[in-house]
Amino acid sequence: MNSAKILVVDDEKDVRDYLISVLSDESFEVRGVEDGDDIISVLSGFAPNIILLDYSLPGKSGVEIIRVVRENRNFSDIPIIMVTGLDGEEEKVAALELGADDYVVKPFSPKELSARVRAVLRRVPADDVERLENGDLVVDLRSHKVMLSGSEVYLTLTEFRILTELLRQKGKVLTRDRLRETALGNLNVTDRTIDVHMASLRKKLAQYAPSIETVRGVGYRYSMN
C-alpha cells in the first residue's frame, strides 16, 4: 500500500523534513505541517491514510490532536502513530488510551519507521464474511463500522482489528502474541500496550465489555455467553 498518503505533524523542521524524505523514498505521498491547530481543515484538504504525530507541539499538544481527530466522525478512523522523543510510560498510556494506534520513540531507523507504517496500514484480510454479530453488537467489515444497540461506536483501527479477531475466534483464547500479529502487524510492542488497547475497547463496548475475558498469563477471549 505504498501509494498511501501520510500526514506528518512535527514542529521541528529538520525532523519533519527527515520524515518526509524517508517516507517519500518508500513511494508514499507525504505532506508535513508544523502544528495541528487546524488539523480538521488539513485533513479535509489532504485526506491522509495515516497521521504521524509528535507529542510536544506548539498550540494543541499531540494528545489533544488525537482527541480532536477521534471525536470527528469524518476522520475518526484514520490511523495515528505517535513519533516522539518522550519515552515515559505515562505519555505512552495517555496516547494509546486516547486512540493512537502505535507509539514510536525517537531516535529510530528508517526501516523501523517504514515497517511500522506499513503494518498499521495493512488491511484486515479480506474474506467472504461481511458482518460479525453478537446480540446488539454488529461489526461491518466492509465499512469498518461498529454498531451497538443501533448507535455507532467509534473505534481506532487497532481496536477494530482486536474486536474483529476476538469475534472471529469467539470462545477461543487469543494470546497476546496472536493479537500482536493480527491487530498490530506483528510489531515489537509490549504486553502493556496490548492491555491498554483492550481496556479502551472494553470501555467503548459498554454492556458488552464483560464478554471480553482476561485469561491470566495467556491473553484474552470473547465469551460465548
pLDDT tens track for 103-147: 999 888 999 999 999 888 875 344 445 788 888 899 988 778 899
Domain boundaries 131-222, CATH class: mainly alpha
Q: Regarding the domain delimited by 5-121, which CATH topology (the fold level of the hierarchy) does it fall under? A: Rossmann fold (3.40.50)
Among residues 158, 7, 180, the alpha carbon closest in space to that of 96 is found at 158
**Per-chain mean pLDDT for the chain:** 88
Predicted confidence (pLDDT) per residue in 172-198, tens digit: 999 988 888 777 765 667 888 889 999
When pLDDT is cut at 50, 70 and 90, the band that residue 3 belongs to is: low
The sheet that has 131-134: what strands, in order across it?
Answer: 131-134, 137-140, 145-148, 151-153
Using alpha carbons only, what angle is made at residue 133 by residues 167 and 100, rounded to the nearest 5 degrees? 55
Residue 206 reports pLDDT greater than 70: yes
When pLDDT is cut at 50, 70 and 90, the band that residue 213 belongs to is: very high
Mean pLDDT for the stretch of residues 3-16:
92
